[in-house]
Every structure is written in structure tokens, then in C-alpha cells.
Amino acid sequence: MQEMRTPGMQHVVLTEKSLADYAPIVGDDVIAEIEQLARPLQGARVLNISSTAYGGGVAEMLHTLVPLMRSAGLNAEWRIITGPDEFFGVTKSMHNALQGMDLDLTPAMRAAYLHTNVDNAVYMEDEFDFVIVHDPQPAPLRMLRAADPGKWIWRCHIDLTAANQVYWNFLRPYIERYDAAIFTMPQYVKQDLAIGKVAIIPPAIDPLSPKNAPMDEARAADIVQLYGVDPTRPIIVQVSRFDPWKDPLGVIDVYRNIKTRYPDTQLVMVGSMATDDPEGMDYYQRTKEHAEGDPDIHLLSNLDGIGNVEVNAFQRAATVVLQKSLREGFGLTISEGLWKGKPVIGGNVGGIPIQIENGKTGYLVESIEECTARALELMRNPKKAQAMGARGREVVRRRFLSTAHIRSELQLFTELMKSSARTSRTTARTRVAQATLASMNGRKPRGQHIATA
């Protein structure tokens, strides 16, 4: 992947992908349905706008969804907004506040946020049939490009159920300028949001990406050994950003509890340092301090050379996969772990419960103690863990793969096109009625030019 730098936004250059390659995994019928949905949309220009090209679930999904849109015959692309560190500091506060933190929103923060969006909007000169704007960072773009044609969609990837009202009141007017909004779950939709259409589309993983592609045990073992991890000893793995909402300090506490029963247990926490997360390094340092130099705690990131292949290896080598989040919009790492046949223990928050069937494909937990107990249960019963992981993989195959995601987006595009056509017909009928009424009154309607045969 490369980023082609231009003033304002950056164009993300992507590798090619083919829908046909997914047929052996999801079935020919699913691919045929996607192709049928895409047929009326051939050549449509689609733009995705986000805040970073790597790090986090949004970027990961777009690396697959945009190429698959192209494979389906749409003219799709992806751009990321640019801005100074001050802007990304503000948007990180916005992210935290929208997930429930009590933070101030100062006039200077508002100005920095809007100024960067104006800078990006100025250079967006071309037009699209559909524009999908991801999360709060670029949300004002629709208002700033109000004259642009096409349908604009705001995609919210975070949990708004406990949103800080000051931040939400600031953001909401920008969102209400969109034609539609996509949320992960119905519970995330704010009751005071006035918008034309709401779609519920959960995120998804790419089963053919380097992070999720098949990998044998021997190769996974060789890779984890490169990072000082012993594949013959129990391994607890959590893959997520170093972020307070992912509770990395709590994960270390769970590991310490487990270690009293299984002294040879190792903990691997894999994160990524993303350009739109200025707090990441600070929380990494806090996590490192909490680890207190324990040689069996491995804190790894892209700065250590960890990429998608390495994440794949650690998830496959794991004895137990955790996602002990305190807030979570969705948590793609849940589906990633399940896809590899591992039962996953996750926080009972946000989008995690729609992925984990409690007691069947993993466990939902609400405390360090409960998380410890469930992890020990899986470690004592490897056959049970294997059966739960197999069920989890099938759930992901049916519900949380990229093919399901692209199908849902194409359905939304089709609905927006139909609503646009209905609006056009209604407008035309209104104009005819106005013209008829005006002619009865012996005058032309203002601003209308009525053609006669």
C-alpha cells in the first residue's frame, strides 16, 4: 500500500482483489447475489474518506472493500484527510468523549477541527455518485461541500450509547446534512438524529488478507519465536490499540491471576501506532510501566515489525484470545480470533456481544475476575475450547466476512438511488402542478421554464 500525496487529501493506492476468489469460502450464490446487486451500479463513482490508511479496523476494512467494489464494476477509491497534530489531538478527544468520557470541548478545539476540515474540503474538486465519510474526523465535509451532487453517507464505527452530550451536540448538525448514516448496531443510533435513512451494517474481516489467510501451526510457531515467545507454553493474546478503552492494564492483571495457576503462561499484547491516535504511545508507556519488566509480557506493535502476517501467527498460536474492552464500537479482532478457530473472551460491551455467542463461541465478561475464571476454564478444557472455536468460525463465515459487508453497502446504494428517483419524480410532478396552477392564474411560476410540445 502506498499513499499518493496531494494537497489536502491523500489518495490511497490499493492492491487488486477479485470477488471470484471468495467463492470457495462463502459459496457461489453469495458472489452471484453481489454481482446482481452491482449490475445497475456499473461505473458509479464511489469515494471513501477516512483519517488514516493504517492502524485500526476502519483502514483494515477499506483495504478490502474498495478493491472488491472495483471488482464488482464500480469506480471506487479511498482518500484520507490530512491535518496537523493538533487536529488529531482534538479528534482523539472527540472519539473518547463520544464513547463516554467527560471532556471539555473548547473554542480552540472547535476551531482547529473545523479549520482542518475546510483545508481538506477545498481540494476536493471532483464529483462522486456516493461518498462514504468514516467517523467524526471528516464529518463536516458534507456541509462544506453542500453543492456537490451524489449521495453522501456518514459511517459511524464507534459506540454512541453514552456519548458526551456537548460533543454530540457539536457534531450532530454536520451529520444531519448527510443523506444516510451507517451504524454497527441499532443501539448506537442517537434518538435525536434527524437524517433521511439509517442502515445497520456490522464491520467485517477479509478471510483472504495476510492477517486471516490460512497458516499452518509450524509457520505460526516459527514466527512467534522470532519475537521471544515460546510456542510450547500457554499464550494469552490481545490484539488492539494501546488505548484506555481496550483496558490493557486490566489484561495484565488477568494474566497475573492466570499465572498463579499456570506459572509458565506468557502474555502478548499486539497494537498498532496509528497516525490518527496521538495518545497511543503515551498509553503504550503506561502499559509498559504496569508490566513492571516481566519478561513474559510482550508488548509489540508495528514499530517492532509486527504486521498482518505476524498478527495472524500470534492469534493462531494463542491458547486464549482476549478482547477485554471497556467500550467497543465493534472489535474486528473478535471475528479475527474466531475465524482462526479460537474461542474469544471479550468485554460485554458495544459490538462484542453480536459476535460472541456466550458459552458457545466464547465468553462475555464484565470484570477482571470473571475474565480470569473463563480463561482458566478454557485452558483446563482444550477440547471444549476447540469445539467452541469451530462454532465461532462458522458464525464469522456466515455473518462477518467482507462479502457480507459489500452486499449490504450495495443494497444501501440501490435504496438511495431509488429514493433519489422518487424524489425526482415527485419534484417533476410538483413542477407540473405549479405550472398548471400558474396557467390557470394567467402567469408563469417563478423560476420555472415550462416547455410545451
Q: Quick one: cell of 332?
A: 474486528
Q: Which residues pair with 75 in a beta bridge?
A: 45
Matching fold, domains 2-204+403-419 and 217-400 = yes
Contact 178, 153 (CB under 8 A): yes
Q: List the end-to-end C-alpha distance of the chain, in Å, as a whole number.
A: 56
Q: How far is CA 16 from CA 69, 173, 235, 306, 408, in A?
A: 10, 37, 35, 23, 21
pLDDT reported for residue 422: 61
Overall fold of domain 2-204+403-419: Rossmann fold (3.40.50)
pLDDT for the residue numbered 272: 76
d(CA 293, CA 335): 31
What 8-state DSSP symbol labels residue 185? S
Digitized pLDDT (tens) for each residue of the chain, 453 residues in all: 444 444 579 999 999 999 999 999 999 999 999 999 999 999 999 999 999 888 778 998 999 999 999 999 999 999 999 999 999 999 999 999 998 999 999 999 999 999 999 999 998 888 999 999 999 999 999 999 999 999 999 999 988 999 999 999 999 999 999 999 999 999 999 999 999 999 999 999 999 999 999 999 999 999 999 999 999 999 999 999 888 889 999 999 999 999 999 999 999 999 877 655 667 788 899 999 999 999 999 999 888 889 999 999 999 999 999 999 998 989 999 999 999 999 999 999 999 999 999 999 999 999 999 999 999 999 999 999 999 999 999 999 999 999 999 999 999 999 999 887 665 444 434 444 443 344 444 443 333 322 222
Answer for the pair 310, 219: CB distance below 8 angstroms, yes or no: no
Query: Domain 217-400 is in which class?
Result: alpha beta
Q: Give the integer Cα–Cα distance in Å for 159 and 138.
A: 17
Length of the chain: 453
**Could you tell me which of 310, 280, 256 has the C-alpha nearest to residue 96?**
280
How far apart CA 380 and CA 376 sit, in angstroms, is 6
Which residues, listed in sequence order, are joined to residue 15 by a DSSP beta bridge?
none
Dihedral sign from CA coordinates of 179, 183, 185, 191 = negative
- Phi first, then psi, for residue 189 (nearest 5°) are -80, 120
Residue 434: per-residue pLDDT? 42
Distance of alpha carbon 38 from alpha carbon 413, whole angstroms: 9
CA angle at 216 for the pair 211 and 218, rounded to the nearest 5°:
115
Relative to beta strand 344-347, strand 235-239 is: unpaired
Domain ranges (residues) in the chain: 2-204+403-419, 217-400
The two beta strands, 75-80 and 10-13, are antiparallel
Q: Taking a C-beta distance cutoff of 8 angstroms, is the pair 236, 254 a contact?
A: yes
Gap between the Cα atoms of 54 and 309, Å rounded: 15
- Residue-level pLDDT at 428: 39
Q: Report CA 321 to chain centroid distance, whole Å.
A: 20
Say which residue the cell 458472489 belongs to: 31
Asked if 328 and 159 touch (Cβ cutoff 8 Å), the reply is yes
What predicted TM-score, i.e. pTM, was given to this entire model? 0.84
Q: Cα 256 vs. chain centroid, distance in angstroms?
A: 31
pLDDT at 54 (0 to 100): 80
